[in-house]
Amino acid sequence: MRYTHFKRADLDVSQMALGTWAIGGAGYGETEDSESIRAIRAALDNGVNFIDTARAYGTGHAEKLIGQAIKGYDREKILIATKCGVMVSTIKAIRGEQGHVRDASFANILYECEKSLRALDVDYIDVLYLHWPDFDTPLQETAEAFNTLKKQGKIRFVGVSNFTADQIEELDKYCQVDVIQQPFSMIVKNDVEIMKWAKKKGIDTFTYGALGSGILSGKYRTLPQFGEKDPRSTGFYPYFKEPYFSKVMLLVNELDKIAEEVNRPVNEVTLNWTVRNDFVSSTLCGVRTSEQAKANTSAFDWALTDEQFERINKAIEQYIDFDGSTSKQLRPRSASER
């Protein structure tokens, strides 16, 4: 495993961070809690030292699994991040509907932090993110909540996810923003300038979606059919529909060639390319099984050559003429929440 030194947070972080959206229960198919715990432990045993989760992932279920999985490990050597500010809509739940609301108010952030601490069964959280911008709450009020939690010793660092540069800069006036989390992959690149800007300010970036929910792993060769509630069938990931799917397959064919050269699977080539971009400090990889955890951590035992990196960039430029991002920061709150 390779590590990156984070400037503002002054932490050494594994270049693969463990994502836990799917194990919280998010429509990706059936998950077994026991296997999810084994997957978390497999990632830790293979060098991952950063676990990313959120209250919104199964309304705290992912957090509870993490709390169980880290028993017996040295807590001081494990970095845990969770996210606040996105809550299950009670009214929609009563109606049997899915959906979330954003609430970054002072009271709610303190409330959610307490819930997270209990679910994770820890005394402190290393990074607390604001999951999405809340356009109804002034950022100064949100900052006050973060600063209060830091003074109380309940969180160490502050992060934001899916923010614009202007929003990050505004929040940074009132409390130090240490890390950000943005979508980024070979087919999702609309936040590149934000990440480059953040790097110049000393703010490190976690990226999510490197494997495009599997489409850049080599797993899919024909257009798949997913369950009704699966995010890949709802339009959240537009590249699982035509004409975009076929364009991505042309790119995957080029990744196949490099995978053959290095005698590694396509998913490792994709993850290598992701962290090769100097504005990426660490990339989140979601896993549901111990086998997936081992397969993804193996990607950080080697590196692409300069020539291979540039060949991939040329293929992206040639085949990907669309932006597959779903993180439009100013979109209405009624849209699906990550």
Q: Which residues are catalytic?
A: 57
Q: Name the residue among 72, 171, 58 with its Cα closest to residue 115.
A: 58
CA angle 182, 44, 280 (to 5 degrees): 25
Q: Which residues, at least 6 apart from 63, have a Cβ–Cβ distance to it below 8 Å?
A: 53, 55, 57, 82, 116, 119, 120
Q: How far apart are the first and last CA of the chain?
A: 27
Q: How far apart are CA 214 and CA 228, in angstroms?
A: 17
Within the chain, residue ranges assigned H as helices are 33-45, 61-69, 90-94, 106-120, 139-151, 165-172, 192-200, 244-262, 266-276, 290-297, 306-319
Give Cα 255 distance to the centre of its chain.
23
Q: How far apart are CA 202 and CA 164, in angstroms?
A: 16
Give Cα 114 distance to the centre of its chain.
22
Give the β-pairing of 16-19 and 282-286: parallel
Is 40 within 8 Å of 9 (Cβ atoms)? Answer: no
